[in-house]
Amino acid sequence: MENSLLISLIPAVAVTMLIVGLYKTAFEKQVQAQEHIQDLLGKTGTRPPAAKEQENILKRRKKSKDGQLSKADELEIKLERANMLITPNEFIMISIATAFICGLLIWMLSGQNLLFAIPLGGGCVCLPYVFLNVKIMLRMKKAAAQFADVLDNMVNAFKTGFGFSRAVQMVADNYDDPWGTEFGKMAAEMNLGSSVEDALYSLSNRIPSPDVDLFVTALLIQKETGGSMAELLGTLSKTIRERYKLFQKVGAISAQGKLSAGIVCCVPFMLCGIMFLFLPDAMTKFFTNPIGIILAVLAGFWMICGIGVLYKIVQIEV
């Protein structure tokens, strides 16, 4: 009776949390958008002071590098870099729901063994965070691959006679995510009264890349000293393209090491799956026995440590 009641209550709680999350996602976005527009326009409808906004952005970036930001601020920055239109509270709620549902499934598959379901279900709270980091990594890789072409597009716009705002809008119209999205945000910020400096610093905060930092620095220096914008961005485009080619070459050279590390990491899971296939009774007894659970947790801990060491070995920065 108690087990059936627990089984009926757990999905009900999960569905309730899902409904609340969908409600917050659907109806709070308009309020957040209005607050963002008011921040850009200022309370009096005028443009905010550029020096003050630039100082705030620089302080935030410095705190992020020094690790002084709160966990909520760091999560908000990561969500913005992944272009996920949810708040940190919604992301935390999704993580809790994921752990709850995974724990329920593991509890049912393990023969209602709470000693096995609770730690594994609790570990599943990290799955959305892993997904977030993977999405950021893939988005940053795509941004790095397209950035030289984006600069070439801006160079053509300047040679045609367009200004900076129009060149940014052309990139936003001609490219998909990430650069179409990010330059679209830049264009919207400038149209709403934000200065060019603030829009550039916001771009470098959303896309944490040395190439973007070089782009922002070059434009800010050019604004102070003058000169041909098309020539400057053309030279910068060639530099970034050559740097990306070098990065690709280093990646190709280190591909064998990365493949070996991936195979070494996958072998234990493959062996475990094969043993589950051919010796299901023995493996079930192993994972339902307290001693077997402790050994599995220790093995998983050392595997994670080994994967981290292999990851550090095969990562080569250019």
**Percent of all residues in the chain with a pLDDT value above 70, rounded to a whole number:** 76
In the predicted model, what is the mean pLDDT of residues 53-68?
A: 51
pLDDT at 44: 37
pLDDT at 256: 77
138 pLDDT more than 90 = yes
- Per-residue pLDDT tens over the stretch 99-127: 888 888 888 877 777 777 777 778 888 89
Q: Which residues of 92-116 are buried (b: 16+ CB within 10 A; e: fewer)?
A: bbbbebbbbbbbbebbeebeebeeb
pLDDT bracket for residue 4 (50, 70, 90):
low
In the predicted model, what is the mean pLDDT of residues 32-58?
A: 47
54 pLDDT more than 50 = no
Count other Cβ atoms within 10 Å, centred on residue 59. 11
As given in the structure block, the two tokens for residue 268 are 């234990």
Looking at domain 140-249, its CATH architecture is Up-down Bundle (1.20)
pLDDT at 9: 57
How much is the mean pLDDT over the chain?
A: 78
- Are the beta carbons of 195 and 47 closer than 8 angstroms? yes
Count other Cβ atoms within 10 Å, centred on residue 178. 23
- Whether the CA torsion 208, 209, 215, 220 is positive or negative: it is positive
pLDDT at 292: 82
In the predicted model, what is the mean pLDDT of residues 9-14?
A: 58
pLDDT at 28: 54
49 pLDDT more than 50 = no
- DSSP 3-state of 148: helix
Count other Cβ atoms within 10 Å, centred on residue 189. 20
As given in the structure block, the two tokens for residue 150 are 């984006």
CA dist 160 and 158 (Å) reads: 5
The residues spanned by each domain of the chain are: 2-134, 140-249, 255-314
Among 313, 194, 207, CA closest to 260? 313
Amino acid at 28: E
Q: Hunting for tokens 């709270």 — which residue is that?
A: 125
Which residues lie below 8 Å from residue 221, measured CB to CB, with a gap of 6+? none
Residue 156 CA: distances (Å) to CA of 204, 213, 231, 233? 23, 21, 10, 10
In the predicted model, what is the mean pLDDT of residues 181-195?
A: 88
CA dist 185 and 312 (Å) reads: 35
In the predicted model, what is the mean pLDDT of residues 173-189?
A: 89
Q: Which long-range contacts (CB under 8 A, 24 or more apart) does 100-106 make?
A: 100/10, 100/13, 100/14, 100/17, 101/14, 102/127, 104/10, 104/11, 104/14
pLDDT at 47: 40
**Percent of all residues in the chain with a pLDDT value above 90, rounded to a whole number:** 11
pLDDT bracket for residue 7 (50, 70, 90):
low
